[in-house]
Amino acid sequence: MSDNGLSINSSELTNKDIVVTYKPLSDVVSYSYQVIKDGNVVQNINVDKHKESIITFDKTGTYQLKITTYNGFEYNTITSGLYKLDKEYKTITLVSDSQNKINHQLFINQISIIAFLVILLIALLRYNRTLKYEKRISKYTVKSLKENNKSLFETFNRLGNGIIDKLTKLVSKSELANKISIRYDKYVKAFNQGSNIRFIAKKILVGFIFVMIGFVITTLRFETLNIYSMVMLCIVGYYTLDIIYKYYYYLYCKQIENDLLQAIIIMNNAFKSGRSIRQAIDLVGNELNGPISLEFKKISYELELGLDIEVAFKRFAERINIEEAMYLTSSLSILNKTGGNIVEVFSSIEKTLYNRKKLRVELKELTGSSRIIMWVLTIVPVAFTTLLLVVNPEYFKPLYTNFLGFVVIGAIMVLYVVYIVIVRKIMKIRM
């Protein structure tokens, strides 16, 4: 407040202490001010110096300031507006019509979810009771040759496959989806997931399921799911299958990498006994178990369809994408074009792969402590964030309730991914 009129909009009622700071003009030599409460003068202060004054109103009442200034020649009186203070009143916030609609819709959503869960529980209980009755009377009945009854899991699986089939037809019409689906070719070939477009349809369905789960959770917590949370849940659900299949694909390739030496030994022994490449491939598929057996059976099947050995093993190397498979494919390609002693070549391959495997085990033992440190540094940020969410769920609420928060989350995730990539690059040892 200044002394040139005290034109302050102070007539609103408040329940907080009112602090007024008066700063005199530069030509004021001295001044005095009166504090008027409810029409009565309760305080009269004289200030002989040119300095500011701080006046505090901390009790219920209607206050007014009357200030008289002296500049060495004349006196000037100014009066402030009214300051209304009431320590007893409470602020009442009226709920708008839009908020009432949101609360009404939230209540309807909660009732719908609870009703759905109750119906689902009743259906499961009835299904369980039916199974008990069926088991009880099964010893008195004769089963038909063709079993038409489906289990609950089979029913849901059939329903999910039907949804995925319809979604696949819809997604297949998009050129962008067809271009994106090419990058998932290795998962489809390794795990027999049908077409690449079907894999995209599964990802979209999982993203939708994540959004529905978030909707149910927020509704049961008496909250509404905003658009930013829906987008985030959809993105997380869409890429969840990538993480799962990438992990299983990594285990799949590691298993083949571990068993490939054994396959080479079996093939080499077959060649020593006078068998052909085709017979050696069939022998590996029949003798071994696990992913390596499946891959060699695929090679055998492709050879039956008319593919050359070079092409079949090249497709095998592209599916697995490991150095040992590339090495085996190159050796067979050279033998197929130039000829040579196949027993000596496979003996050399066997010795090379054995030395590489031995060296890899030794490196794994030597770098064990460093890899533990890498995993600790990778897991600690996630564990610490999870701990904070458990201890104080409201701590990160500003990050997922507005656009700026989602930008910060995106930046953190990018930096975290870059950090993991850099650490893994540093720790990775190429042989």
Q: Would the pLDDT of 152 be above 60?
A: no
**The residue type at 22:** Y
Tens of pLDDT, residue by residue over 242-272, are: 888 888 888 888 888 888 888 888 888 888 8
3-state DSSP assignment of residue 216: helix
* Alpha carbon separation from 49 to 1, 19, 25, 72 (Å, rounded): 18, 21, 12, 12
d(CA 278, CA 261): 18
166-179, pLDDT tens digit by residue?
888 888 888 887 78
Question: Could you tell me the CATH number of the domain that includes residue 55?
Answer: 2.60.40.10
For residue 6, the model assigns a pLDDT of 46
Does a structural domain hold residue 128? yes
240 pLDDT more than 60: yes
pLDDT band at residue 1, thresholds of 50, 70 and 90? Answer: very low
pTM to 2 decimals?
Answer: 0.54
Of 144-158, 216-230, 369-383, 394-408, the poorest mean pLDDT is in 144-158
- Over residues 374-415, the pLDDT tens digits come to 788 888 888 888 888 778 877 777 777 777 888 888 888 888
Quote the number of domains for the chain: 4
Quick one: 354 and 263 in the same domain?
yes
* Whether residue 104 is found in the same domain as residue 197: yes
Q: Is residue 13 part of a domain?
A: no
Answer whether residue 242 is part of any domain: no
Q: Is 87 in contact with 81 (CB distance < 8 Å)? A: no
Going by C-alpha positions, the residue among 238, 219, 239 that lies closest to residue 417 is 239
Of 133 and 66, the one with more pLDDT? 66
Helix (H, G, I), strand (E, B) or coil at 338: helix
Contact 212, 163 (CB under 8 A): no
**Co-location of 62 and 102 in the same domain:** no
Judgement on whether residues 281 and 323 belong to the same structural domain of the protein: yes
Q: Over the range 10-43, which residues count as b (16 or more CB within 10 Å of their CB) and which as e?
A: beeeeeeeeebebebeeebebbbbbbbbeeeeee
Q: Is residue 204 part of a domain?
A: yes
For residues 353 and 371, membership in a common domain is answered with no
- Evaluate whether residue 177 is within a structural domain: yes
| Mean pLDDT score of the chain | 78
pLDDT for position 8: 43
Q: Are strands 30-37 and 40-47 parallel, antiparallel or unpaired?
A: antiparallel
Q: Are residues 43 and 70 in the same domain?
A: yes
| 12 part of a folded domain | no
Q: Rounded mean pLDDT of 127-143?
A: 67
Give the mean model confidence (pLDDT) for residues 214-236.
78
The arithmetic mean of pLDDT across residues 93-103, rounded, is 53
Asked if residue 11 has pLDDT above 80, the reply is no
Same domain flag for 205 and 296: no
Decide if 398 is inside a domain: yes
Q: pLDDT band at 52, cuts 50/70/90?
A: confident
**What are the CB-based long-range contacts (under 8 Å, 24+) for 353-358?**
353/260, 353/261, 353/264, 353/324, 353/327, 354/261, 356/324, 356/431, 357/258, 357/261
The encoded tokens of residue 94 equal 């009226």
9: confidence class by pLDDT, cuts 50, 70, 90: very low
Same domain as 166, residue 54: no
Give the structural domain span for 180: 98-137+150-218
Assigned token pair, 301: 């099947």
Look at residue 198 in the predicted model and tell me its pLDDT. Answer: 82
Structure confidence at residue 276 (pLDDT): 83
Q: Are residues 108 and 43 in the same domain?
A: no
Q: What is the CATH number of the domain that holds 298?
A: 1.20.81
Residue with the larger pLDDT of the pair 204 and 144: 204
Q: What is the predicted pLDDT for the residue at 158?
A: 76
Q: Do 405 and 308 belong to one domain? A: no
